[in-house]
Amino acid sequence: MQMALFAYFGGAVVLSALFVVYFRNPIYSAMSLLAMFMHIAGLYVILEAEFLAGVQLLVYAGAILVLYLFVVMLLNVQSRGRFLQRQTPLVAVIGIFAAVDVIALLLHTRFYPELPAIPHPGVPTLGNSETIGMVLYTQYLFPFEIASLVLLIALVGAIVLAKGKLKYR
Amino acid sequence: MFSQSHPEHYVPIFLFLLVAVGFGAVSLTVGKLIRPKNPYKDKNAPYECGVPPINDARERFSVRYYVIAMLFLVFDVEVVFLYPWAVDFDRLGLFGLVEMMIFIFILLVGYVYAWKKEALEWD
């Protein structure tokens, strides 16, 4: 059952990722990316990371993909033809290098490391979101507050970049 | 893993997906089976209020859409942070409330900035 689910989600992720680079129409690529995000959420569910699965759907499939689509529409990418465009030999070399890199990493990674002890042993029966919340808002308090600054920078940056063009039309 | 703990929790989600996909598939197939098929050139032409289409549909969009998407993304992530906080609200107590107020205040600065820069206006 588990193996079958993993095979389905993993296979779908690989396939939709391939379609992202395969289509020449950027909108098709974005839609393939959406399929990939959704199946990655499925992988998270198999790994019992329900909160992460929800966040994956909400943030990646919901917000980031919309951002990608808007950027595609802003840049007005014209696509001729339907599939794969020609690449320079340099890209192929870099691609092979990256593939070798990934294979080396896969061979050298220990996939079942010794996990550190849960930081709050007094509350072992908490669910997924509860545990994340307790760790995030006590132990990782500072990174959490920094995250708000990062978001603020993103917000201000977007407005500054678009400034002057906001009066457009 | 998931099949060992609570697979039954995913039955509603599975049913939901099944109904969603099934509805689309059934309506398209049934429609294809029973509708008359008689296409010709004028019928396949893109329809735009009865006027012949003037130029390409793939126009450049206004940069405002990008700003709106970015604003949405930022506050979307804020909500993601709010959710586990709300779940743990009782356990975190006043400490949690204060730290979340700081978090929201920092983002509120960005909201006010966007407001003052008229990034939310649309005219």
In a domain, B35, yes or no: yes
Residue A59 to residue B92, Cβ atoms within 8 A: no
Q: Which amino acid is at B64?
A: R
Buried b (16+ CB within 10 A) or exposed e, A135-163: bbbbeebeebeebbeebbebbbebbeebe
Summary count for chain A: helices (H), strands (E): 7, 0
Domain count, chain B: 1
How far is Cα A66 from Cα B70, in angstroms, rounded to an integer? 9
Q: Which two tokens stand for residue B101?
A: 């107020």
In a domain, B1, yes or no: no
Q: Which of A58, A148, A152 sits opposite B80 (nearest CB)?
A: A58
Interval A115-152: pLDDT, tens: 666 555 555 556 778 888 888 888 888 898 898 999 99
pLDDT value, residue B18: 95
Residue A45 to residue B2, Cβ atoms within 8 A: yes
pLDDT value, residue A168: 47
Q: Which of A64, A129, A163 sits opposite B83 (nearest CB)?
A: A129
How far is Cα A60 from Cα A56, in angstroms, rounded to an integer? 5
Q: Which of A47, A132, A166 sits opposite B64 (nearest CB)?
A: A166
pLDDT value, residue B24: 95
List chain A residues with CB under 8 Å of B3. 1-2, 5
The one-digit pLDDT tens for each residue of chain B (123 residues) are 444 466 777 889 889 999 999 999 999 999 999 988 888 888 888 777 777 777 776 677 777 788 888 888 899 999 899 988 998 888 888 988 999 999 999 999 999 998 888 777 776
Extract the residue ranges of chain A whose pLDDT is less than 70: 77-86, 113-126, 164-169
pLDDT value, residue A118: 59
Residue B81 to residue A147, Cβ atoms within 8 A: yes
Q: Environment class of residue A16 by beta-carbon count within 10 Å: exposed (0-12), middle (13-18) or buried (19+)?
A: buried
List chain B residues with CB under 8 Å of A169. 62
List chain A residues with CB under 8 Å of B21. none
Residue A73 to residue B96, Cβ atoms within 8 A: no
Residue B14 Cα, gap to closest chain A Cα (Å): 11
Domain positions in chain A: 1-82, 127-163
- B13: domain CATH number is 1.20.58
pLDDT value, residue A119: 59
In a domain, B46, yes or no: yes
Determine the structural domain holding residue B96 and report its residue range.
7-116
Instruction: Give backbone dihedrals phi and psi of A83, rounded to 5 degrees, phi first.
Output: -120, 170
Which CATH architecture does the domain made up of A1-82 adopt? Up-down Bundle (1.20)
CB pairs under 8 A between A and B: 155
Residue B18 Cα, gap to closest chain A Cα (Å): 15
How far is Cα B63 from Cα A162, in angstroms, rounded to an integer? 7
How far is Cα A35 from Cα A15, in angstroms, rounded to an integer? 10
Which helix (H) or strand (E) segment is A90 a member of? helix A89-108
Residue of A nearest to B101 (CA): A145
In a domain, B122, yes or no: no
pLDDT value, residue B116: 86
Q: Which of B74, B85, B96 sits opposite A151 (nearest CB)?
A: B74
